[in-house]
Structure 1
Amino acid sequence: MFSQFSHEIGIIAGPTAFQSDYGEDKNFDNIKGNIGYSVGIVHYMNLALNSDCDCFNRYTYFNDHFMIRNELVYMNVTLDHFGKWVDPSLQSEVANSLRAMHGEVNVIDFGTQLEYYPIPLREFISGNYIFVPYFAMGTQANYYFPSNYSDYGNIITQNEEVFLPKYQNGQVNNGARVAFSATANIGIKIKLTRDSDLMVDMRYQFYFSDWIEGMKPDPSIYTENQRNDSAVTLSLGYIFYL
């Protein structure tokens, strides 16, 4: 089944909303405020099409409804606190300290996923359908290097002076690390030419770590930050058949 297949390669880019320990979990102000971008390259193993003869492989349900996608993606998001705790009307020490905090997360993702197409791929490749939807799940290895700082001073040498107790005593780390994540996608491919497609993709990414942005307040105390970090990305892509 995997001995003969074709390759596709493409580029993707789009906005990313990053949910972290900046602000409260599921707070819409933080979701819309902490938006960055992602850009990457994707590679497909098309199991329905045989590149040796430019013909279709013998039909099986799997090769006509599934594709394997590999990708390398870079994500960058700058982070600030948003919401009621930093409302301009509040001039408390807590509000001022939160407004003075800033962060940036940089992540390089490498992973793979399995895409399912309810419409037969050979029908789409042949041009019998202008577009096809797909659903996907996968895993990623993530190399991340965050940065957190305060307008009040250096967080490393003056941690207790510039950050609230919530972020003291080792709850901030700007070092580079590796984590893993799970992804779930929904998208659509649109036929442009015989050898190229346009792709619109929506992805939810759940990290198996709460350190992606470099902070981890004690979740047993600070219940507003109990979840691991996550991201939602809307991408536009161009795919070319090799």
Structure 2
Amino acid sequence: MNTKILVAVLTLCLTTPFTGKAQLTFSNEVGVIAGPLLFQSDFGLRYDTDTNLNNQAWGIGIVHYFNFSYRADCNCYTRDRYFNDHFKLRSEADLHYTPLTHEGKESEKDTPEGRDLRDHKGSSLVFELGMQLEYFPLSLRDFQAGAYKIAPYISLGAHFVSFKPNHSSVQDIPGATPQDIYFDPFLIGDGGDLGGISSNAGTTWALTGSIGIRYKLTILSDLNLEFRYHKYHSDWVDGLNPDPEFYSPNKYDDSIVWLNIGYIYYLNF
């Protein structure tokens, strides 16, 4: 998907509801989220425990919600329709930075190849901007009125993604060639400054999905607990994308799994 088109669509979705303030049929919520995430990439073995434990970081985000069950212009509930009472539109900006290392049985071998893997370090700084549509099986009106404390939900959306990877090795000394420093199959590929290894910034998009719960703190505030999955439409987010013909484990695009907790505040406009 062309990223310029995606940005234009997201901008239109964010600005259209404000074009006619007299006809606002929603209210606004804002909040912050933060929590640990696991970066699933070509560093290490995807389903290896050590890989999952070591290639992790923290992400933070700022979120905004359109609440269709309550009207800001009259401080009253909207028309009692199913969509208004069960859906919220969420926009957000996220930032996360992950240091990456090679883990698993291949990197643990006492061989030149194992040493090359162990000495190869990476990182990825990622900024995301996007929207999700959240579905609440229980009534949002009842939740806001305090009929129950917990409201579960699921969501699906898309993000524009800007990323900046980096790579290094302790073997990178004056006079050494890339073949001396890095695991040779990683050097075969297109797009990186070292074949399948890259420190080039780039953009892509991500499909996002989540399950979560809201916990009612006060009439105007909630706690939010959420488990999320971001599937990137690129294998360069981590800066490593060797040719799968020469490195068969390279089968998947990059992704993250993110557990976050947030604080949401209901605005009076």
Q: 1:154 Cα deviation (Å)?
A: 6.5
> Structure 1 residue runs of 4+, over 3 Å off?
none
CA 1:154–1:4: 2 relative to 1, 3 Å: farther
Q: Distance in 2 between matches of 1:122 and 1:220?
A: 55
For structure 1, which segment, 146-155 or 99-108, has the greater mean C-alpha deviation from structure 2 after superposition?
A: 146-155
Q: Report whether the alignment pairs 1:241 with 2:266.
A: yes
Q: What residue number does 1:7 align with?
A: 28
Q: What residue number does 2:166 align with?
A: 147
Contact 1:138 / 1:182 at 8 angstroms: preserved in 2?
A: yes
Contact 1:25 / 1:227 at 8 angstroms: preserved in 2?
A: no
Q: Distance in 1 between matches of 2:171 and 2:75?
A: 63
Quote the sequence identity (%). Answer: 38
Q: Which runs of 5+ in 2 are unaligned?
A: 1-16, 18-23, 189-194
Any idea what the Cα deviations from partners look like across 1:89-117, whole Å, max 9, x if unmatched? Answer: x3210111111010111100000000000
Q: Distance in 2 between matches of 1:158 and 1:196?
A: 57
Please tell me the root mean square deviation across aligned C-alpha atoms, in Å.
1.4
Contact 2:120 / 2:167 at 8 angstroms: preserved in 1?
A: yes
Q: Distance in 2 between matches of 1:53 and 1:71?
A: 26
Give matches, 1:31-110, under 5 Å: 31-87=52-108, 90-110=109-129
Q: Distance in 1 between matches of 2:173 and 2:84?
A: 55
Q: Distance in 1 between matches of 2:212 and 2:245?
A: 37
Q: Report whether the alignment pairs 1:228 with 2:253.
A: yes
2:234 is aligned, of 209, 218, 221, to: 209
Amino acid of the residue matched to residue 149 of structure 1?
Answer: S
Q: What residue number does 1:114 align with?
A: 133
1:185 is aligned, of 207, 210, 215, to: 210
What TM-score, normalized to structure 1?
Answer: 0.95
CA 1:241–1:154: 2 relative to 1, 3 Å: farther
Q: What residue number does 1:158 align with?
A: 177
Q: Which runs of 5+ in 1 are unaligned?
A: none
Q: 1:86 Cα deviation (Å)?
A: 2.2
2:40 is aligned, of 11, 16, 19, to: 19
Q: How many aligned positions are there?
A: 238
Q: Distance in 1 between matches of 2:117 and 2:151?
A: 46
Q: 1:152 Cα deviation (Å)?
A: 0.5
What TM-score, normalized to structure 2?
Answer: 0.85
